[in-house]
A and B are shown apart, each in its own frame.
Chain A
C-alpha cells in the first residue's frame, strides 16, 4: 500500500518473460495477462467448453476426470515435443517441413537399433543422433544454398521419408517387446505406480519445456535466435554469426524431432518410416496457435504447449462427445485461422500506436 513505485502495466507488447520480469511475485494480474494474452486462455476456454458440454450429456461426465486429463497430456506430448524445436525455428524466422519425416526416420533408426540387438540406451542415442543429423543437414543446406527453408525442407522431407523406407525395406520395423522393455510404458497414459500421475514421456516433455524456455530467455543463443527472426540484417550488423546460429537452430529442431521419434516409437512399438505424414502441419499449427509468427521473432514455449494442448483437447473432446472427425478438422482449422488473425490484429494495433 505504501509502495510508491508505479504499478507495472502489462499490454500486448509484453512477452511472458517481460511480464515475469516486471512482476515476479504472484499477482492476479499476471494470471489475467497469461489468460488474456497467451494461448492459455483459449486452451482453458476450449477445455471448459468440452467439460460443460460433456457434463450435460446423457452418458457424460467422463471428460472432467483425471483419466481424461492423463490422456490429453500424453496426446499433447506427441505434438508438443517436436513443436518445441519448431518454436525455436519459427522464432528464428524459419520453417521446417521435414520435421514429421525426420521424426519418423529417427523412430525407424531407433527401431532398427533395437532389432539389431543394441541396448535401449544405444538405440535411443541412435534415434536422437538421427534427428540431430537431419537438423544439421537442413541448417547447412539453408545456410549454404541460400534457398528459402520452405523449399529446402520440402526436399529433405522426401529424402528423410525415402531414407526411412529404404532402411526399413518399406515395412515398419517391429523389434521384439523384450528389446525395448524400458520404453514400453514411456507413453502409457496411465502409469503403473499411480502416484507418478503422468507417463515418463509427459514428465520429460515438461522438463524440456522448462529447458527451452530458459534457453530462449536466459542465454546468449536465445537472444540471437530472436534477433535473427526479428531482423536478420540487424543480427548481421551487430556482428552475430548468422550462419552458425541458423545451423544451430535447425540442429536443435532436428534434435527435438529425434526426441519425438522416441515418443512415436514408444506409442506405436515400431519404427514406421511413413509415421510422419501430415504430422509436420499439426506441429506447425501448434506453434502458430500458440502465438508463433511465421514471419519470425515471435513465439513462446508456453504458447506452443497450449497450442498442442488445444488440439489434443479438441480431438479428445470430440471423440468422447461423439462429434465426427470432420467437425473436429473444421474446428481446429478455424482456431488456426483465428490465431493468425489475432496475431495480425495485435501487430497492426501496435504499429498504429507508434
Chain B
C-alpha cells in the first residue's frame, strides 16, 4: 500500500475558458491512493471539462496538475496514458472487430520489427483480467460478441496494462444492467485495494453513496463543496449541486388535466418499445423515467413516427395516427429531440430557419417566402422564451446549449403542437435555464397542452410532472401519480427488470 497521506492526483487551481464561457475557475481537486472520489455536479457544471483536462484533451488556462508527486501536463490523451492516467468513458472506445487481447494491447503491442509477439502479450492480458476478477474472459474473443458490461472490463483492463495509477470513470453505469453494475463496483473496489486513485463521475447519488469514500461537488465551474460522504444527507448534496432551494429550482404553474388527448395502445417498435401503453390528458404533464437504454427515447420516437412501428396504435383525440413525422405534425404533435446536435437542430442554419422548419406555410405563397414577416414572428418567439442571441439570423452553433434548447422548444410551440414530446429537455443546460423550461412546461399545461417529459433525472420529474411512467427494457412497467413516487421507488421500478417481464404489466394509475 502506498502512503495514504500523500495524494496521488492533485489538480490545483485549474481554470479553463471557451470563448465567452468560463468553464472552470480555480478548481482544486485531489485523490489519494486507495481512495474513490466521487465527482458530482449538474450537467454543464464543468465535470467533463475537468476530466478532459486530466486526460489531455484540453489544456488548462491556469493551474497545475501533479500525478504521484510529479508535475503532469499532458498534451494529448496518449501522453496522459503514458503518465498513468486512464479514462473510462460512458461511450466505450473499443474496436469491435478486434479481439479482447488486441483491444487491451492497442497502441502498446509487444512487437519486434513490426511483428506482433503474441506470446509476450498473452500473460500481460491474462494478468490484467485476473486482477479484475474476470479471468474467464477469452482473450481471442471478438469484442463485438461481448456484453456491454464485459466490454467495459476490456476497457478497464486496457488501463491496467498501461499501468494506470489514476483511473477516472465517467458515468460508467449508464448503459449497464443491474448485475453488471454490481460487477463493476466489485472491480472498482478491487482497484482501490491495489492502491490506485479512482475518480468516479455520476449523477446517481445512490451509486455514489454505495461506492465512494469522498465527494467533490462542482457547480458553474467552481468547487461548491467537498468532504467525506459518511453522514452527509443526500439533500445537502443536491442543494450543493443546484445551488438554490428546491422551490427556486422547480417553479410550478397550477394546471388541471382534462379529458384524454393522446392514447398509446400496445405500441411496439423494431426493438423498443415493447407493447407500451399510455394515456395522456389535455393539460397534463406526464413524466417518463428510465435508465439509459430503457427505451424511453424509442417510445416517443415511435409515437411520433420517427422510428418504425411494428404493432400497436397511437390515437390523438380518438383519431388514429399514421406512423410518419408529417402525419404527427399535422395531428398536432411536436417533438424535441434529446440529441440537439445530431438531430434536434440544424447547427449551421440560423435561429429563424430552425424555428420555422416544421411550419413554413404561413410565410409562403406558391413556394416563395416572405422573410420579413417570418423574421418578426421569430423575434417574438425569441423574446417570449428569452433566447439570448444577436439576431434571428444567427447560426445555431453559436448559441449556448440552453439557448439552443429554447429554440428547439420554440419550434414546437411555433408549429402550435397540442402534444409536446420532450426528450431530456433539460440535459446539458444551466440551472437558470432549467427553471425557465420547467416554468414554461407548466404554462403550456395551463394553456391546455399536454406534455410527455422524458428524463433520467428523477428529481425534476418528481417536481414537475402530474404522473410519472417508469420504463424498463422497452416496457412501461408502472404509471403512478407523482405524489405516489419517491426517488427510491422510482429507481427500484426502473431497475426491476426480470420480475416484471411477464407482459400486461401496467399498474393502474391512481
Contacts and interface: CB of A to CB of B under 8 A. Distances in A.
- Chains A and B touch each other in the complex, with CB atoms below 8 Å apart: yes
Interface of A: 8-9, 13-15, 17-18, 21-22, 217-223, 226-227, 230-231, 233-241, 297-298, 350-354
Contacts of A351: 397
A227 B337 contact: no
> Main SS of chain A's interface residues?
helix
A18 B393 contact: yes
B411 A238 contact: yes
Interface stretch (B27-35, B167-175, B339-347, B435-443): B339-347
B48 interface: no
Contact of B367 (A13, A221, A227, A238): A221
B393 A238 contact: no
Contacts of B367: 219-221
A219 B369 contact: yes
Contacts of A353: 18-20, 398
16 contacts: A14-B393, A18-B393, A21-B393, A22-B393, A222-B369, A231-B347, A234-B357, A235-B346, A235-B357, A236-B325, A237-B343, A237-B344, A239-B329, A350-B397, A353-B398, A354-B21
A297 B346 contact: yes
Contacts of A352: 18-19
A238 B357 contact: yes
Interface stretch (B83-91, B92-100, B207-215, B348-356): B348-356
B246 interface: no
A354 B348 contact: no
B117 interface: no
B349 A230 contact: yes
Contacts of A223: 353, 357, 360, 369
B21 to A, nearest CB: 8
A200 to B, nearest CB: 27
Contacts of B395: 13, 350
A298 B391 CA distance: 19
Contacts of B349: 226-227, 230, 297
Interface string B66-81: 0000000000000000
A135 B343 CA distance: 28
A236 B371 contact: no
Of the four ranges (under 10, 10 to 19, 20 to 34, 35 or more), the interface on chain B belongs to 35 or more
A8 B390 CA distance: 9
Contacts of A350: 395, 397-398
Given A227-B353, A237-B306, A220 B325 contact: no
Contact of A238 (B348, B350, B358, B364): B358
B226 interface: no
A219 B368 contact: yes
B350 A230 contact: no
A21 B393 CA distance: 9
Contact of A218 (B326, B337, B368): B368
A234 B346 contact: yes
A296 B316 CA distance: 36
A237 B397 contact: no
A239 B369 contact: no
B19 A236 contact: no
Contacts of B391: 8, 18, 22
Contacts of A237: 306, 325, 335, 337, 343-344, 358
B326 A239 contact: yes
Contacts of B25: none
A231 B345 contact: yes
Given A219-B369, A235-B357, A237-B306, A297 B348 contact: yes
Given A219-B368, A236-B325, A238-B325, 17 more contacts: A9-B390, A21-B393, A22-B391, A218-B368, A223-B369, A226-B346, A227-B357, A231-B342, A234-B345, A235-B346, A237-B306, A237-B358, A238-B329, A238-B411, A241-B326, A297-B349, A352-B18
Contacts of A8: 391
B127 interface: no
| Pairs of residues from A and B, 3 with the lowest C-beta to C-beta distance, nearest first | A230-B346, A233-B343, A238-B358
B357 A218 contact: no
Interface in B462-502: none
Nearest to A233: B343
Given A234-B343, A354-B400, A239 B325 contact: yes
Given A13-B395, A218-B369, A230 B347 contact: yes
Nearest to A242: B325
B394 A13 contact: yes
A18 B346 contact: no
A202 to B, nearest CB: 27
Nearest to B398: A13
Contacts of B369: 218-220, 222-223
B461 interface: no
B187 interface: no
Contacts of A240: 357
A14 B347 CA distance: 13
Given A14-B393, A236-B306, A298 B348 contact: yes
Q: Which among A217, A350, A354 has the highest number of chain B CB atoms within 10 Å?
A: A354
Contacts of A219: 364, 367-369
Nearest to A230: B346
A241 B353 CA distance: 16
B174 to A, nearest CB: 22
Nearest to B325: A239
A302 B357 CA distance: 25
B399 interface: yes
B244 to A, nearest CB: 25
A237 B92 CA distance: 28
Contacts of B326: 239, 241
A354 B398 contact: yes
Interface string B383-414: 00000001101110111100000000001000
Contacts of B400: 354
Contacts of A227: 346, 349, 353, 357
A226 B367 CA distance: 15
Contacts of B166: none
B53 interface: no
Nearest to A231: B346
B345 to A, nearest CB: 6
A241 B20 CA distance: 38
A89 B369 CA distance: 21
B328 interface: yes
Nearest to B327: A239
Contacts of B342: 231, 233
A231 B337 CA distance: 13
B338 to A, nearest CB: 12
A9 B394 CA distance: 11
Contacts of B339: 233
A220 B368 CA distance: 6
Contacts of B20: 353
Contacts of A298: 348
Contacts of A222: 369
A354 B18 contact: yes
Contacts of B360: 220, 223
